[in-house]
Amino acid sequence: MQDNHNRDEMRDRIIEAALKRFTHYSATKTTMNEIADDLHCSKASLYYYFPDKGTLHLAVLEKAGEAYFTELQKEADRASSAHQALMDMISVRHAFVKKFCRLELFKTLKDKQLDSTGEAFRQARERETALIAAIIRGGVERGELANCDADRMASLYMLSMMGLRFALSDRAFTDDLSDGEFEVVREWQVQLAEIFIKGLKK
Amino acid sequence: MQDNHNRDEMRDRIIEAALKRFTHYSATKTTMNEIADDLHCSKASLYYYFPDKGTLHLAVLEKAGEAYFTELQKEADRASSAHQALMDMISVRHAFVKKFCRLELFKTLKDKQLDSTGEAFRQARERETALIAAIIRGGVERGELANCDADRMASLYMLSMMGLRFALSDRAFTDDLSDGEFEVVREWQVQLAEIFIKGLKK
DNA sequence: TTTCTGACTTTTTTAGTTACAAAGTCAAAA
DNA sequence: TTTTGACTTTGTAACTAAAAAAGTCAGAAA
């Protein structure tokens, strides 16, 4: 019989070590041997807990993503208006993207569009869209926003925000931008959000 | 002394031949020899009129761009409202992008960001932004839109529209999308424009 | 029985290398 | 002034070999 407690603990230690390496250097530049060395164990041990590097990478992304959504939800709950909620959301995403850009989210997405990894991303995006839709619905109920197709508007909002990032960066599907670039994207996103919310009012 | 009339005429014939090849196949897949053969002249002749392939490519893009701006201006003048003008603009751009996607605008832009080619693109984008700004100003003067920084809003609008295209296409900085993709981009652009304009109203 | 590892094999990346195609040049002809 | 055939140079795609990293497994350790 297996001891799930110890097993999960070791899994977590591996994920933690990988997260450190991945965020500091980058996922592709990190080898399984380096992670093993950090943990003072053998590479083969890593493969006892994860079938392959891709799965480990995904687990790392999921852990980071979980923290992101928790934070996002917290801010959304605290906000007093849809306007405020969306603005807070931009801040949270900005911090997250800046912190975890070395995790090569876009890069991974680009390759593994089809398999389970791609599916995980799709789910994450849907989850974020659902959160935005909820914020919009809240605004509608409170009379802050005009009645509208909240899901459609949430998708449009998401696409627009993502789009700004691509439109502003010459090397579009690169994960990490310079600090200056991140800031510029943020500014434009705030401006667009402002207009967007106005457009949903009345 | 040189005969500028004949000289320009030959330049035009070359541009025309290149345009045909470029739009049908693509700029990179077209060789100078092919263009020369189409014109029943030698490759060396081409180099008498254009210093290199890049310059010819730029001339072709400029010719296409000129047609684009002419059409754009025509539609803008005809429109009765800022709303209508921006909607018409989307149609014109849609048709243009679809027709000339083989000209490898993005691809070229990506490489030659710094040199004279990049400068030409920057100018073209500014020109388009100025056109949008003029439309917005018209709307403000007519009382259709609230007072605002028209230039800034025009830039934001441009970035958002471009962004949607990138956000929607998995292979972001690729020039030619499938017909279906083009149509999807168009639909989201129309929706965003709708919200955007509402957001600019009082 | 579960966890771990050294030694191993397989796969992927990278850094050359070559061979060909296309870009670009030029002296001389029209 | 314009054109060209014959030329050189440059860029690219297709192989290759070597290295590095991924991934496996029989058996040891706990």
What's phi and psi for A196, nearest 5 deg?
A: -60, -45
**Does position B115 have pLDDT exceeding 80, yes or no?**
no
State how far the Cα of B184 lies from the Cα of B168, in Å rounded to an integer. Answer: 8
**Does position A138 have pLDDT exceeding 70, yes or no?**
yes
Restricting to B residues 144-163, those with a Cβ less than 8 Å away from any Cβ of A are 152-153, 156, 159-160, 162-163
**Does position B197 have pLDDT exceeding 70, yes or no?**
yes
A44 Cβ nearer than 7 Å to chain C strand: yes
CB contact under 8 A, B196 and A197: no
Residues 6+ apart with CB under 8 A from B157: B86, B132, B136, B193, B196
**Does position B5 have pLDDT exceeding 80, yes or no?**
no
Q: How confident is the model at residue B106 (pLDDT cuts 50, 70, 90)?
A: confident
Condensed to tens digits (0 to 9), the pLDDT of residues B70-102 reads 999 999 999 999 999 999 999 999 999 999 989
Mind giving me the DSSP string for A88-149?
A: HHHHHHHHHHHHHGGG-HHHHHHH-SSSHHHHHHHHHHHHHHHHHHHHHHHHHHTTSS----
**What tokens does A65 get?**
């993503």
Domains plus CATH for chain A? 1-50 (1.10.10.60), 54-200 (1.10.357.10)
pTM: 0.93
Nucleotides of D under 7 A from a protein CB: 1-6, 20-26
B45 Cβ nearer than 7 Å to chain C strand: no
Which chain A residue is nearest to residue B190, measuring alpha carbons? A156
**Does position A64 have pLDDT exceeding 90, yes or no?**
yes
CB contact under 8 A, A188 and B156: yes
**Does position A172 have pLDDT exceeding 80, yes or no?**
no
State how far the Cα of B189 lies from the Cα of B195, in Å rounded to an integer. Answer: 10
Of A162, A164, A195, the CB nearest to B199: A195
- Return the closest nucleotide (C1') to the Cα of B42: D4
Using the Cβ of B130 and the Cβ atoms of chain A, whether some distance falls under 8 Å is answered with: no
CB contact under 8 A, A110 and B170: yes
pLDDT at B107: 83
**What tokens does A48 get?**
């006892």
Condensed to tens digits (0 to 9), the pLDDT of residues B164-191 reads 998 998 666 677 788 899 999 999 999 9
